Structure 1
Amino acid sequence: MRSSHPSERDPLEEIQLESNPVYDGVLLKVRRDRVSLPDGGESVREYITHPGAVVVVPVLPDGQLLFERQFRYPLRRAFLELPAGKIDSGEDLLDCAQRELREETGYIAGQWEYLGVMHPCIGYSDERIEIYLARELTHVGDALDDGEFLEILSFPVDEVIRAVAEGAITDGKTIAALFRALPALGLSIGAKSQD
């Protein structure tokens, strides 16, 4: 893996020459930039700016993972995914994770662990998703947003890993968060949980 000193310029870096808004929506904003390429040429880059999000891997007292089933309009079907949501302007990352877990699933957690960050769509967006593991869950009742409809389900870790391998779980943030959570759960890729 290539690692460069922060003061070194990456030889692949593209330099922004001009930036213009194309679309300014409620959640997403589209920009079109003119850039200088590494060879001195120029090109255009269109991309979506996103406020960022969190995803939570909630572990129930029995070791099962808490999931939600939610209809996702762009793909016109329901998906199994981990609880997640957009970071509000100025919101602390952990506060956002706690809020989303409570609102969507009705659970609060007594123990939180930050697992890292993932970038789900690097070809066309600056979105980042911060990953948290939540343990010592207690159910206190959900507080869904208006117009939000979810089914809350739980599955053993083995079943979740199998669902990913078989293509039943295809949500990118869920797969990445699960991968990042496995070591914290005492597992590795290909290992089976001891339920």
Structure 2
Amino acid sequence: MKTWLVLAAAVGISGCYEPASFVYGESLEGLTLQLYSPNVGIYPDNSVLEDPNNPFAQTTPGVETKWKIQSSGAHVAAFYSWATLLAREPGGEAQFYVGNTLLAIYQNGEASQEELPLVKAQAIRAYQSVLDNFPDAVTYDATGKFAYDLVTPAYKGITEMGGTVQGGWTLVKLTNGQDRAVKP
């Protein structure tokens, strides 16, 4: 069982950085999602910061840490990571990955049977929020040089889960044969 190490660096009143303090947390694997509020993880809601189950409520995952958590297979921890980032620094990438992690939680049964339908609906809402609030959102490849739009996979995420895309978005085929979500 992995235990994650959270490094917290504090900035003093003088503006100088104090030595980092290490906080050892509990394992981020095997968590079960319990939706804290009806809008948790959906912009502009920030209730995830009050969620007692959120291991990141008092700190924000760093640039590298969020990707390590995302790739770890600890979907519930990844949800909390991305939802915390979304609450503190709203952006389409975080909203998209909230949707992705909710989808993974739903598919892997990492919530109670009673909550799974709510998790599915929340994933659809997260993807819709990308379309509604962050239509220019992108994510980058591992090199950080190549950007990929997020509206198309958000659109596909909604439809693949049986949801209905709202707001006039449609999927068109580009001349190169790839799909692209657009809002005419």
What TM-score does the superposition give when structure 1 sets the normalisation length?
Answer: 0.27
Structure (1 or 2) with the larger CA radius of gyration:
1
Q: Say which structure is richer in strand.
A: 1
TM-score after normalising by structure 2: 0.28
